[in-house]
Amino acid sequence: MAQNKEAWGSRLGVIMAVAGSAVGLGNFLRFPGLAAQYGGGAFMIAYAISFLIIGLPIGWAEWAMGRYAGSLGYNSAPGAFASIVRRPWAKYAGIIGVIIPVVIYMYYVVIEAWCIGYAVNFWTGQMHLQDAKQTVDLFVNFTGAGADASAMSFQFDRALPWLLVVFAFNFWLIYRGLSGGIEKMCNIGMPLLIVLALVVLARVMTLGAPDASKPHDNVYNGLGYMWNPSKVLITKITPGPEDKPREVVGAAAITEAEKEVAASSGSLVLKTVSPWSQLLNPSLWLAAAGQIFFSLSVGFGVIIVYASYMKKDDDVVLSGLTASSANEFCEVALGGLITIPAAVAFLGVAGIAGQAGVGLGFKVLPLVFSKMPAGAFFGGAFFFMLFLAAITSSISMLQPGIAFIEECLGVGRKISVSILGLLTSFGTAFVIYFSADLKALDTLDFWVGTFLIFMLATIQIIVFGWVWGMEKGMSELERGASVKVPAIFRPIIKWVCPAFLLSIFALWLLKEIFGFDLTTAQFGAVSAYVTDLFGASAKLPAQLSVALAVGIFIFFALISSRSKSYRRAEQGLPKNEV
Amino acid sequence: MTTPGFIVMLLSVGTVTFLFGWCIYKVLTTPNETDKVHGVEFMTPDMKEPD
């Protein structure tokens, strides 16, 4: 009986570990904001399609390529690419898969520090926020968004002390390895995260309309704002450049809006936007595909590394599916029901319009929890839950860099961890120093956390389907699998996924880099991410951020160009001579 | 929330819950599957270095 119990505990531990690696900040902050912004139902259609034709196929491709490379002794993305493509350029393409987790770690750990800092400040009763201005001021002071280096102070209402603790904790866990840290962290952290999420969810669902004088601001309308497939918008008939449509949710609010339109002497109009017309907006598809990438960690260069440690008959199909489904459960069933309904109940639809990600999490929700009965407890629980979600992701971002340095330089784990520790501590210090307008964080997130992810994902699926070949790829994928990959995924991986990715990538470049307005089909101003780098309005922190990423790429390229391991990989030989 | 909104929510939440539940069921009931399914909990060879 005791043995049986232990077996079940260890089996559930496996599920928790898989789920822990998949769940992250994007589940609770980024997804709800995007889904609400793009109109629940329409967004979910694009999101589900992106999951099926991007998320699962690229994830599976990474698992299969990683395990194949691991069978030859290669544990890094450059090693995997070199052993499959067998051309010198492949290892340089693979370096993108090292740059992404290493650079994302540099700013992800900063956000992780905000989470634990906010949690402790809530639990110790330091958060007494009265209005939106106070909440934004707190955020600006805490993160240093007001001026460079302003968060670098040893006070508990500043990010620096929390960052030092979190950074050291991450490296302690990865240094201690499996039994000393990572496994325990996942086994304790994941159930705790789900319990905390359920507790916060139960509290949110029972909020009703917290302010009797604002009956429209209630949880029910919050759910409507999040999930209603059609959007009702009140807008000016001839809107100016600053006029944005205002969304109206709930029967009573719509009746009031109708009265407002009637009294406007024809200057306002109320219109209903169907989900089908929303689906014609390419920005919605960009947002849905981007969320799938970010959330499932596909195109990050992380899965390929962990898959390389699998045995040749391990089940990569079910591993990938379990990780993805755990992530989707936390994202849709927990994140989708907590964040937006709580925010709407206290601040109304107008109070949170257009907010997603960091803005929603740190500039809106702290005020929501401050207004909530027993908000100190629930606010602390929510931000601690975010911290748990973040730390299980951030520790997974370190192994790709460690494996790469070991492989290239032929050094052991301790030296590799030390080198990576130095590199990431420099990068993280850079991010926390150049904190004005969160410029360094934002620039790295755009060019590395978005642009390079699109690039790597596209390269990976093309390498899998076209260079390696479907037959080899699918037979590697399905070896040892308890479930067969449905046949429909063959044409998806070969044709649909690359075509979809290239289209999305082209649209993304047009919109984000060249300022093309996808709804009006007109070119506007070039993106600030470009003007921050060149010309009269260039900004030093943005330029230095890109220089940092390019510098790391050059450093990694130099050491990999001299690597004997990769020369063997290019010839299809195992890393170590047998 | 409108009725279509309620349906979208139920379908979305129901689908992901079913998928995750099915994966858990499959992992727990397939013989030896827990030894073959992994996340990031690997004992990587380099972790065995002596102190």
Please check whether residue A105 is in contact with residue A395, taking contact to mean a CB–CB distance below 8 angstroms. no
Question: Is the pLDDT at A45 greater than 60, yes or no?
Answer: yes
CA atoms within 13 A on the CB side of A358: 17
pLDDT for position A194 = 82
DSSP E strands: which ranges in A122-171? none
Q: Where are the domains of chain B?
A: 3-47
Chain B hits for A332, Cβ within 8 Å: 12-13, 16
Residue A178 pLDDT more than 90? no
Nearest to A151, CA basis, from A163, A164, A162, A160 = A160
Q: Is the pLDDT of residue A566 over 80?
A: yes
Give the residues across from A231 on adjacent strands.
A273
Task: Encode pLDDT of A424-440 as tens digits.
Answer: 999 999 999 999 999 99
pLDDT in tens, A106-155: 999 999 999 999 999 999 988 888 887 898 899 999 999 999 999 888 88
Sheet strands (E) in A419-545: 516-517, 522-523
Give A488's pLDDT tier (boundaries 50, 70, 90): very high
pLDDT tens for each residue of A207-217: 888 888 888 88
B43 CB within 8 Å of a chain A CB: yes
Q: Do A86 and A472 contact (CB within 8 A), yes or no?
A: no
Instruction: For A236-260, give one letter per residue: b (16+ CB within 10 A) or e.
Output: eeeeeeeeebbbbbbeebeeebeee
B10 inside 8 A of chain A by CB:
no
Mean pLDDT of A193-197: 83
Tell me what the pLDDT averaged over chain A comes to: 88
Look at residue A317 and tell me whether its pLDDT is greater than 90: yes
Q: Which segments of A311-364 does DSSP mark as H helices, in order?
A: 316-328, 336-352, 358
Percent of chain A with pLDDT over 70: 94
pLDDT tens digits along A222-281: 999 889 999 898 888 887 777 788 888 888 888 988 998 899 888 899 989 998 888 888
pLDDT at A6: 45
Run means of pLDDT, 10 residues per run, chain B, 51 residues:
92 95 91 78 61 51
Task: Quickly state the pLDDT bin for A1 (edges 50, 70, 90).
Answer: very low
CA A368 to chain centre: 23
B18 touches chain A (CB under 8 A): no
CA A107 to chain centre: 12
Tokens of A196: 């905390």
Nearest to A94 by CA among A570, A476, A440, A426: A570
Report the gap between the CA of B39 and the closest CA in chain A (Å): 4
Task: Tally Cβ neighbours within 10 Å of residue A162.
Answer: 24
* Residue of chain A nearest B31, judged by CA positions: A482
Task: Give me the amino acid identity at A117.
Answer: G
DSSP annotation of A232 reads E
Q: Does A252 touch chain B if contact means CB atoms closer than 8 Å?
A: no
ipTM of the complex: 0.90
Q: Tell me what pLDDT residue A2 has.
A: 46
Threshold 0.80, pTM exceeds: yes
Quick count: other Cβ atoms within 10 Å of Cβ A279? 19
Nearest by CB to B41, which of A75, A183, A336? A183
pLDDT average, residue stretch A171-178 = 74
pLDDT at A177 over 80: no
Among residues of chain A, what percentage have pLDDT more than 90? 44
Q: Which residues pair with A273 in a beta bridge?
A: A231
**Higher-confidence residue: A135 or A542?**
A542
Per-residue model confidence (pLDDT) at position A402: 92
